[in-house]
Structure 1
Amino acid sequence: MKTLVTAALLAATALPAFATELTVWDWKSGDPLAAPYYQKAKEVFEAAHPGDTVTFVMQPNDQYYTLLGTALASIGGPDLFLLNGGAQARARFENAVKLDDKIGDMKADLAGLPEFSDANGVYAIPLTIQGFVVYYNKALYSAAGLDPNVPPKSWDDLSKICAAFVTQGTVPCIALGNKEGFGMEFWFSTIAASLWTPQEQVDFAAGKLAWISPQVLAVLQSWVDANAAGWFPKGANSTAKFMDEYEGFMRGESANTIGLISDVAHWKSFDEMLGAENVGVFLLPAPGGAAAKIPAAGGIGYAVNAKSPNVDLAVEFAKTLAAPEVLQVFFNAAGAVTANTKMDTSAVTSPAAKTVFGWLATDVVPMAHTNATAQELEEIHRQSQLLLNGETTVAEAAAAMDVVAKAARQ
């Protein structure tokens, strides 16, 4: 009996005294391209913290913030949660742990921090840099009698290209999925990037550039004008942007699409489906705008739940998720442009990617939609659908947006 008791005690002492399970919410961990990154982060963390485990809970993308809001309002909720940079992140800072003193020297290696910070400090650790560019199918350009190696540089150029596709009638000029209103977010930021001055970007972020101002009205009007000209496919309000729009583009069902630069709906996935030689890229020009720019900012990042009973351990895992050796797996597997500046891109051969990386070095401006409030984003989703359906006017939509903006920014 004594031997059995001794053996049991030895077995017990070999295990961690307080093994912890961290619960992590996201909308990406089940994605096959992102899975190697999440698995690497889990392996690195669990090796450094024997007995502690990580469980990823992937939530549906279109319901994520509703479900997260409910969870954060409860006593429980996840230990860590994924956020889009900008408006969606800032709306949840009150639920997150301030990280400045907890991530220390790591801050120096991270780009994209402004989208996960406010005047009080940093509330989430960025993983990626995200931005919007237009990808195009060179084979479809050739079929429409267009030079596949000469993308549009101006709104007039784009108008002529889209007119060629409208006349041909085979595929829409610009793919669009706006079921959740996300199509408007992409359009808004890409047009504003080329149309607004740096000061106007600052004023919009501060709530000083009203929705009824001429500068914002011009962005909304371009959405209506493009739709009226037949550039978008019919039924865009019934098409999910992720991933119906992009799967259609990869099947050759549209000539152009406003896509991302990082980890999904971007150069890597398009190259693999269409062939790198058939994927072109350009920056969306604006009517009356200056030289087109790339809207880019901190993409996604992880926050630690202020109600978590495991804050210190959760911070350690957030740091693991943003570590260069872990994020390198994200880049290699999914083409994620990482926020950690130690990422190695030397092996990239994609012509589209090389062009995008060049723009990131010289032509970056803010992503305007991320500098709205979460309430404004929710309302512009709705107004954008009404505009596509012809159920409201640009002036009426802008007036409605101003009402929401004033209430949200009080």
Structure 2
Amino acid sequence: MLRRKIAGALAAGLAAATLLTACGGDAADGPVTLKVLTWEPGGTEYWAQVKSTFEASHPDIRLDMEAVPFDRYPEVQGPYITSQSGPDVMANNAGLELFDRRGAYEPLGERAAEINKDLVTYSGACEGFDTTKPCYGVPFSYQGNVLYYNKSVLTAAGLDPENPPTTWDEFSAACEAVKNSGKTCLALGLSGTFPAYWDFPEIARNYLTEDDIRGLLAGTLSWTDPKLVATLEKLAEITTSGWTNSNAPSITMLPDGADIFQRGDAAFAGTIISDAVNWEAFGKALGDDNLGVTRWPVINPDAPLAQKFSGIEGAVYGVTKWSEKKQAGLEFISWLAGKENGELWVRYGKGQPLNSTVDKALLPTSPSFLKIQEFVAQPTLHAGVMLSGPETDALARGWQQVTLGQLTVDKWAEQMQQALERSPTKRQGR
């Protein structure tokens, strides 16, 4: 039904912004081949199922998948965007990572409402997180941050594995106990984008209101504001207190930091609920009964966003402006948002689906998965995806330098403000 609606609307010739510009190549003899650039969130098996299932029901479209490791994705995608050539469909994370690259994508226009009608969405594919503004793609996974823990490591440190720390003071005491037992408290890698997406928002929620987070998005909240300086101070405390692995400044969280936790060498790991590494991967490595999941410890219990969940869509797939196969591209990304793919995502990707019509009987029964369902019931804005590319880079680099004693927190805040001023997206919106 959705396919017929899309094809009919396309044939009717809506506005150019709805991807219905002249697009040579869709009418060619034989199946249309769509080139898709992805980092394969959910894993290779899931994407093999996407390809075979979609092609079986769409014999007129073939998928040519280019899979790139996440840490190399920007360097592969960048030349395509610069040359305005290459893939017909590309992925980016929701939020400013996508908005920074919006010039590479066709806006969905009037199609956005229909495609997203069954999705639980934060509008992270739309400018300003506002569905009345241009939207540049389609998400299908539910994303956000939690703190995983290894019950065996906590037990060996003399801690209660069924009652993980809930406050910052309790976390500090737990880390000291874990260190004394010969293990790392928090597995961490500071190279790349993960500090911005996984750690920053969980500290920031103790200091920022939702209005502050929107100010972060708009570029109107200065990084020298006491709230953001306090956030940076607490991030610095994690590493300067010796709670993390000593090589944290020189490694990435994926795969290196996650591997430390999966090997059983760390008590905690702050990561995500879907996509690249999640409860399912950790459960396989450590045992489902040995894996715990909790919220990050609270610093300021009275903060309005304390004890809430940082929710956001996962990867967003959009049709490139240079594609000559826009109709086929729109059909593919619309299918990604649908029930059929949502159920593939649950079965093979073991992730959280955005599509609300997915059969609930398919959802996993893992204790960690069920605990995560409690957390996602109270979502708030995700501060990490409000950061532009320059800010994301400066956050990771500054945290490395602070950890190594090469930079003070005040200087780090100044570098973050300079990065904000370099952000083309935020300069345009101010």
Question: What is the match of residue 133 of structure 2?
Answer: 120
Mapped partners of 1:145, 1:55: distance in 2 = 52
Whether 1:81 and 2:90 are equivalent positions in the alignment is yes
1:349 to 365, 368, 391: 365
Question: What is the match of residue 62 of structure 2?
Answer: 53
Secondary structure at the residue paired with 2:124?
helix
Shift of 1:58: 0.8
Is 1:261–1:267's contact at 8 Å kept on the other side of the alignment?
A: yes
Question: What is the match of residue 77 of structure 2?
Answer: 68
Is 2:229–2:410's contact at 8 Å kept on the other side of the alignment?
A: yes
Question: What is the match of residue 331 of structure 2?
Answer: 316
Question: Match for 1:402: what amino acid?
Answer: Q
Whether 1:188 and 2:200 are equivalent positions in the alignment is yes
Shift of 1:249: 0.7
Is 2:112–2:135's contact at 8 Å kept on the other side of the alignment?
A: no
Distance 1:297 1:335, change over 3 A: same
Mapped partners of 1:152, 1:226: distance in 2 = 15
Mapped partners of 1:256, 1:235: distance in 2 = 16
Whether 1:132 and 2:141 are equivalent positions in the alignment is no
Distance 1:299 1:398, change over 3 A: same
Say which is worse superposed, 320-329 or 248-257, in terms of deviation. Answer: 320-329
Question: Match for 1:192: what amino acid?
Answer: A
Question: What is the match of residue 382 of structure 1?
Answer: 397
Whether 1:287 and 2:287 are equivalent positions in the alignment is no
Shift of 1:113: 4.8
Secondary structure at the residue paired with 1:56?
strand
Question: What is the match of residue 343 of structure 2?
Answer: 328
Mapped partners of 2:340, 2:58: distance in 1 = 17
Structure 2 regions of 5+ residues with no counterpart?
A: 1-27
Is 1:98–1:123's contact at 8 Å kept on the other side of the alignment?
A: yes
Structure 1 segment 30-179 matched on structure 2, within 5 A: 34-103=43-112, 105-118=114-127, 120-168=133-181, 170-179=182-191
Cα root mean square deviation, aligned: 1.9
Is 1:125–1:322's contact at 8 Å kept on the other side of the alignment?
A: yes
Distance 1:49 1:276, change over 3 A: closer
Say which is worse superposed, 82-91 or 342-351, in terms of deviation. Answer: 342-351
Shift of 1:106: 2.6
Paired residues, number? 390
Is 1:205–1:371's contact at 8 Å kept on the other side of the alignment?
A: yes
Question: Match for 1:19: what amino acid?
Answer: P
1:359 to 362, 375, 396: 375
Is 2:116–2:337's contact at 8 Å kept on the other side of the alignment?
A: no
Question: What is the match of residue 247 of structure 2?
Answer: 235
Mapped partners of 2:368, 2:205: distance in 1 = 20
Mapped partners of 2:33, 2:289: distance in 1 = 46
Residues 138-163 of structure 1 show CA distances to partners (whole Å, capped at 9, x for unaligned) of: 01111100010111111111111111
Distance 1:381 1:229, change over 3 A: closer
2:219 to 171, 190, 207: 207
Secondary structure at the residue paired with 1:277?
coil
TM score, norm. by length of structure 1: 0.90
Mapped partners of 2:314, 2:171: distance in 1 = 27
Is 1:268–1:334's contact at 8 Å kept on the other side of the alignment?
A: no
Secondary structure at the residue paired with 1:109?
coil
Is 2:229–2:409's contact at 8 Å kept on the other side of the alignment?
A: yes
Question: Match for 1:37: what amino acid?
Answer: Y
Secondary structure at the residue paired with 2:29?
coil
Identity of aligned residues (%): 28
Mapped partners of 1:298, 1:49: distance in 2 = 26
Residues 177-198 of structure 1 show CA distances to partners (whole Å, capped at 9, x for unaligned) of: 1222523542111111233222
Shift of 1:406: 2.3
Is 2:89–2:317's contact at 8 Å kept on the other side of the alignment?
A: yes
Is 2:61–2:328's contact at 8 Å kept on the other side of the alignment?
A: no
Mapped partners of 2:172, 2:316: distance in 1 = 37
Question: Match for 1:369: what amino acid?
Answer: G
Residues 227-269 of structure 1 show CA distances to partners (whole Å, capped at 9, x for unaligned) of: 1221011011222211121122111010000011113321111
Question: Match for 2:162: what amino acid?
Answer: N
Is 1:113–1:125's contact at 8 Å kept on the other side of the alignment?
A: no
Is 2:38–2:66's contact at 8 Å kept on the other side of the alignment?
A: yes
Shift of 1:109: 0.9
Is 2:43–2:276's contact at 8 Å kept on the other side of the alignment?
A: no
Mapped partners of 2:206, 2:217: distance in 1 = 16
Mapped partners of 2:332, 2:325: distance in 1 = 11
Is 2:310–2:381's contact at 8 Å kept on the other side of the alignment?
A: yes
1:395 to 410, 420, 425: 410
Residues 101-157 of structure 1 show CA distances to partners (whole Å, capped at 9, x for unaligned) of: 235523211223511101532111012111010000001111100010111111111
Question: What is the match of residue 3 of structure 2?
Answer: none
Is 1:181–1:382's contact at 8 Å kept on the other side of the alignment?
A: no
TM score, norm. by length of structure 2: 0.86
Structure 1 regions of 5+ residues with no counterpart?
A: 1-15
Secondary structure at the residue paired with 2:40?
coil
1:300 to 315, 332, 344: 315
Whether 1:339 and 2:354 are equivalent positions in the alignment is yes
